[in-house]
A and B are shown apart, each in its own frame.
Chain A
Amino acid sequence: MSKPEIKLIDENGLRVDGRRLDELRPIKMEVGVLDKADGSAYIEHGRNRIIAAVYGPREAHPKHIALADRAVIKCRYHMAPFSVEERKSPAPSRRELELSKVIRESLETSVMSELYPRTSIDIFIEILQSDGGSRCAGITAASLALADAGIPLKEIVAACAVCKVDGKIALDPSDIEDKQGEADLPVAFMPKSGVITLIQMDGSLTEEEFNRALDIGIAACKKINEMQIEALKRKYVSVKEQAEDRHESQEASA
């Protein structure tokens, strides 16, 4: 990490984008944005623009990866070439390969995969624009896509990162805070079970700072989880209403 070139916190304790230390960026979620995929979701988290999609449970391919007692989960986290400042090669980088693994593990724990032996559930996350905390926003969207695909989940997984900027612990780093900050701590969490499904860290934190960062990260995941449930309701309540309207109009014409 390079030395801070610009001040990340001003004299009023506000951040580059005017947020307080414990404030999330604006988040928008929409469920069911693709036609072909079995489940999908779109998220805008700050300037992150991400689509996640799920296919399955479907026949495992190649066949030898299938497991006799449960579904295999496949996951790909991928950044579009135009998602970052300098064009990124579309070939998966080592970073993307590592993130695909930790994201898969963080979501797999929420999926009741034992219900679908010998099948495969495939999760695709495309980062269309990246803005710090993209793995977390990707998990948030992918968990919605799994729910949209009708796959039984123990719980929806929510994720958010915490950072340290100008010596202070701050929630939900944006791009510049991620790059110039002194630490980054992405966390994925299932609020009802109260368990962490992903945790990574780089930078430098004291034990005390870490404990505080974990607290505000978990609190943020709870908030994001509520938004996820709202987003699911928005889609499925409207579907339910449409069905009821149609039913009523059919009855009226009969």
Chain B
Amino acid sequence: MSTTPQLPPIGKIEQRGVADLLAKGRRIDERKLTDYRELKIETGLIQKADGSAMVHLGKTKVMTGIKIQLGQPFPDTPNQGVLTVNAELVPFASPTFEPGPPSETAIELARVVDRGIRESKAIALDALCVDPGKKVVVVFVDVYVLDHDGNLIDTSAISALAALLTSKMKRYEIKGEEVRTSDELVALPIKSEPVPVTAAKIDGHIIVDPCLEEELVMSSRLTVTTDRDGNICAMQKGGLGTFTDQEVRQAVRTAIEKGKEIREVIRGATVGR
């Protein structure tokens, strides 16, 4: 059952500190309300993966590895490849993470990343059918959270996208009954770049890219994922607080604008790789 989490205790003074600064239009790390932390993307670190990316967003670190294998399609989509997203909160990433079956945080994280990729149709799943109803290409996206300093959703989705954009796969061909693979590698067919922008509400102020200290005092968050064309393809609210409809509309506007900037950074880091 989903249960109210026990949050690490945070002092009233720290809480007021964050909120008082916001009232003056400032943040604890000197960012503006709509500023992201520094975004660094490295790709191809893991040679045994078919694609990989290490993303740093401030002090948050997430690595994604892609594995591409032959497998069976889902019965209701016999002509499409399969996308599987999983997220692992590695126990050393935070003193609050523990080994064991995936927590609801990990499941939500994986599903929000999945939704962005799936709903924007980022991967051309139609092009990943090898033998209809029998053999298709399966794309495993494994998100590894290595250091948690806030905004895991955006960092994870950016690393998943960067890894997908640099993924290479074998060419699969059906010859009679058997599937033949070529040694020649081709790029995984990617049609869109879904980018999430997470906004957090603290004491009535809306900020983007909350760091951990801000997450601990936020009342709620709202993630809006936009695709290459600037359309909204996924959304997720979290936390116990609420949003007015005006705040939601503002978050959407911000997500479209910020999404564009972040998409350019991702393109710059992955083009030609």
- Contact status of A97 and B248, CB under 8 A, knowing A109-B242, A202-B115, A202-B234: no
Contacts of A202 in B (CB 8 A): 115, 118-119, 233-235
Q: What residues of B have a CB within 8 angstroms of the CB of A232 in the complex?
A: none
Indicate with 1 or 0, residue by residue over A186-210, a CB within 8 angstroms of chain B CB atoms.
0000100111111111111111001
B153: interface (CB < 8 Å): no
Beta-carbon contacts under 8 Å, A175-225 to B? 185, 190, 193-207, 210-211, 214-215, 218
> Which of A72, A199, A204 contacts B3 (CB under 8 A)?
A72
Q: Are B2 and A75 in contact (CB under 8 A)?
A: yes
Residues of chain A contacted by B4 (CB below 8 angstroms): 65, 67, 70, 72-74, 104, 108, 113
> Once bound together, how far apart are the Cα atoms of A206 and B235, in whole Å?
13
Q: Is there an interface contact between B119 and A199, defined as CB atoms closer than 8 Å?
A: no
8 Å CB contact of A74 from B1, B110, B233, B242:
B1
Q: Interface majority SS on B: helix, strand, loop or mixed?
A: mixed
- Contact check, B243 vs A98: say whether CB atoms are below 8 A apart: no
Query: Contacts A67-B4, A97-B2 known; A199 to B240 CB distance under 8 Å?
Result: no
Name, among A76, A101, A109, the residue most crowded by chain B CB atoms within 10 Å (CB to CB). Answer: A101
* A98 and B242 contacting across the interface, CB-CB below 8 Å: no
Do B235 and A185 have beta carbons less than 8 Å apart? Answer: yes
Q: Are B244 and A109 in contact (CB under 8 A)?
A: no
Q: How near does chain A come to B233, taking the closest CB pair, in angstroms?
A: 5
Instruction: Say if the beta carbon of A100 comes within 8 Å of chain B.
Output: yes
B231 touches A101 (CB 8 A): no
28 example contacts (A-B, Cβ-Cβ < 8 A) are as follows: A2-B76, A65-B3, A65-B6, A73-B4, A74-B2, A75-B3, A94-B111, A98-B107, A98-B111, A101-B2, A101-B104, A102-B108, A102-B238, A104-B2, A108-B240, A113-B4, A193-B242, A195-B243, A196-B237, A196-B248, A199-B243, A200-B236, A201-B235, A202-B118, A202-B234, A203-B119, A203-B233, A214-B248
